[in-house]
Every structure is written in C-alpha cells, then in structure tokens.
Amino acid sequence: QVQLVESGGGLVQAGDSLRVSCAASGRTFSNYAMGWFRQAPGKEREFVAAISSNAGSTYYAESVKGRFTISRDNAKNTVYLQMNSLKPEDTAVYYCAAKYYSSTYIYYDYSRKGEYAYWGQGTQVTVSS
C-alpha cells in the first residue's frame, strides 16, 4: 500500500503562482511513477502531469504545458506541482496518484486515471479573476 497526502492548495489571484506537494509513504517511492490530476465542480477528473520514477521524463496536458512543472524528490518521498500564471479555469481539487512502474520513460497511458492504483485525498486550488 502507498499512502498519499497532498498539501499546499489555497486561494490565489489570476497570474499568481502556487506549488502543491504530495507526500508518499508505505512503499519504495522511487519505484513509482506519479501523476497529478484535477477535478473541477461538475467535471470529470482530468490529467495534468506525470513523472517517471527516476524523474527522467515528464508529461503534461496541453492546457498546462509551459505553465506547470512536475518534479519529485525521491529522498523526501515527495512529488511537486509548480503552477505558474494561474488562470481561473485552473480552479479544481488537485489529486496526486501513484503507479508501480520503475522506468526512466513512461510507456503506459499516463493520462488514464485507471492506470493509477493509489490516490490522495486532494487539495483545493482556487484561482480568482
């Protein structure tokens, strides 16, 4: 079992930056690929970003490419999502997710929710206009 706990959400203004974190425990973190997803009210949970187990590769949704950066610190068992130039449409609950997958590159469909076995409880990010 892997336990995931997100933190760092909050209320910011459009154009601001925010970093959310996800702390993992329970298994060897460096064996897991990690993803960030988000869910806005009344909408499906959608893919935001993913990172391979050794941070050798990263992947982004088109809507956040160039604004968001996913990173990880395997020594701290933590994955981060740095969000810059935030927009009101980025408002959502942000979830981190883990998949046992030890590889430099991700060859599964990293944008598919069903690929990830473990999920956190989410952290709210609200961007005001």
Compute the distance between CA of residue 109 and CA of residue 122 in angstroms, rounded to an integer: 22
pLDDT in tens, 43-90: 999 999 999 999 999 999 999 999 999 999 999 999 999 999 999 999
Residues across the chain: 129
pLDDT score for 15: 98
pLDDT score for 121: 97
Residue 129 has pLDDT above 90, yes or no: yes
CA–CA distances in Å: residue 119 to residues 13, 34, 85: 27, 10, 26
Residue 1 has pLDDT above 90, yes or no: no
Kindly state the tokens that stand for 41. Answer: 């009210």
Compute the distance between CA of residue 48 and CA of residue 64 in angstroms, rounded to an integer: 7
pLDDT in tens, 85-108: 999 999 999 999 999 998 988 899
- Asked whether 28 and 100 are in contact (CB, 8 A), the reply is no
